[in-house]
Amino acid sequence: MKKAVKAISLVLTVAAVLAGCGKDSGGTEAVSTKNAEGRYDPVLTIRIAKQLDENTGRYGEGEDINKNPMVDLAVEKLGIKMETILLGGDAGNYDTKLRLALTGSEELPDVFPVYGTQMIADMIESGKVKAIDEDIEKYMPDRLKEIYDKYPQTFYPVIKDGKTYGIACTPFLTEGQVMIIRQDWLDKLGLKAPTTLDEFEEVIRAFTEQDPDGNGKKDTYGFTYAGDSIYNTGWVADPVILFSANAGKHYPGSWQEDENGQLVYGSIHEGNKKTLERMAQWHANGWIFQEAAATGAWDAMMQFTEGKAGIFIGRPWAIGSVRDVETVCPEAVIKAYPNILQDSGEPAYQGAQINDGWLMFNKDFNNMEAFFTYYDWIYDAAFGTGDFKYGYLEGYDYDIVGDTVVYDSKLFDPPVTDPFMPGKSTVLKNTPSIDTMQPIWMSVRE
């Protein structure tokens, strides 16, 4: 696959020059059809939007979001070129650009993810997106229909007046969160990973006051998190477990039944008030990120990556996103631990996400069959079949060393530092998954 990808890139560079002499057949301009080999001919372009984390892998020399091995492979295998025309970094920047596209100040892509229900409602109200009920029935492959049939609730936000205006991004119950900790700091200070809120407090105090990095300066603190949204995102830099330690399943922003069968709003639960009071004291002591209240997830995570904070909470994959700390601090050792327990000794709760946004479609987009062909193709990475049995690209997100498939790029043959992540140029933000977990209220300690 490594040699094939390089060859594909060379061939497609020539093909792109030749294609530039004629009219592009993709996007909203025309409908392209498959040839005898199952490829679209001429090459069909689907214009997409991305909310992209640039911390996840680096482009190679001469590569960018629209010129890289993953884009080339889709053209070679399917005759479909994914072209990103709207790119946003963090959630706020991306939403702003979508708003501009909604008003006509920016071009609305053919296919684009939306991450908020208000944006979905506004898109539908604008008349700029299409209902896709017939397209789902006609073009969605059976294996994908089986997945979506398991999660009918993911369609609710994109249904209006009986019509469906989008699909959830790869619905499944996501993995729980873990505590990612500077193990070298724990070892230096003779500490163990915390298992209770009291132990958590002791660790973040020590990480702040006992010079864990040994530079003789008071320039570290215990815990970084995102405080610019409600504390139950279930994503990264989410401190919800700290609230669950006192409030159980009644965490902020949720409605849950109490022992009497009455619905209780988590944000006003006494347990959450206790956690807020405790965090306020931590803040006053300088034990936690001082700008958290106005900071989003990725910026909060950077505090850990830059060697300033000792604990960060996120999904298990997030440990790969903070590996840069090992470059900033060569002595750094990071390790993931299960989350803390409630005061009762029961596992702390986390809200399981079922999907990561929704895909919506420009009303003028005419190539829904091609979209589902591509969408099903990248799902091979979840099913472990087809072109993506072990991952997207050998030598990028995985490698085969001897008879072993490895996913840590430092163990590749030869080792690779911070390789390009192929998922950066697909229509999705994350690699599809078909794994499920029960119950919906999850804990990694169960």
Q: What separation in angstroms does the CA of 98 have from each of 168, 200, 381?
A: 18, 40, 28
What is the mean pLDDT of the segment spanning 345-350?
78
Rounded Cα gap, residues 26 and 66, in angstroms = 15
Rounded Cα gap, residues 84 and 75, in angstroms = 14
The domains found in the chain, sorted by start residue, are: 2-173+355-425 (3.40.190.10), 178-351 (3.40.190.10)
For every residue of 384-441, DSSP letters joined together read: T-GGGSSSSSBTTTBEEETTEEE--GGGSSS--SS---GGGGSSSSS-------SSSE
Maximum distance among all Cα pairs of the chain, rounded to whole angstroms:
71
Residue 430: partners with Cβ closer than 8 Å, 6 or more residues away: 169, 170, 356, 423
Each residue of 118-170: pLDDT tens digit? 999 999 999 999 999 999 999 999 999 999 998 888 899 999 999 999 999 98
Q: Does residue 11 register a pLDDT over 60? A: no
Q: What is the mean pLDDT of the chain?
A: 85
How many C-beta neighbours within 10 Å does residue 291 have? 12
Q: Kindly state the DSSP code that residue 346 receives in the 8-state scheme.
A: S
Rounded Cα gap, residues 267 and 255, in angstroms = 9
What is the mean pLDDT of the segment spanning 72-85?
97
State pTM to two decimals: 0.65
Whether the Cβ atoms of residue 170 and residue 320 lie closer than 8 Å to each other: no
Whether the Cβ atoms of residue 212 and residue 220 lie closer than 8 Å to each other: yes
Rounded Cα gap, residues 392 and 401, in angstroms = 16
Q: Which region holds residue 84: left if phi is over 0, alpha if psi is between -120 and 50, else beta? A: beta
Residue 277, token pair as written in the block: 């009071």
Q: Does residue 29 register a pLDDT over 70? A: no
What pLDDT does 359 receive? 98
Number of helical (H) and strand (E) elements in the chain, helices listed first: 15, 19
Handedness of CA 329, 331, 336, 337 (dihedral sign): negative
* Sheet strands side by side (includes 111-114): 80-88, 44-51, 111-114, 358-361, 167-168
Whether the Cβ atoms of residue 48 and residue 389 lie closer than 8 Å to each other: no
Nearest CA to 252 out of 236, 240, 237, 270 is that of 240
Q: Point out the least confidently predicted range of 86-95, 134-143, 366-375.
A: 86-95
Q: Point out the least confidently predicted range of 49-53, 228-232, 242-246.
A: 228-232
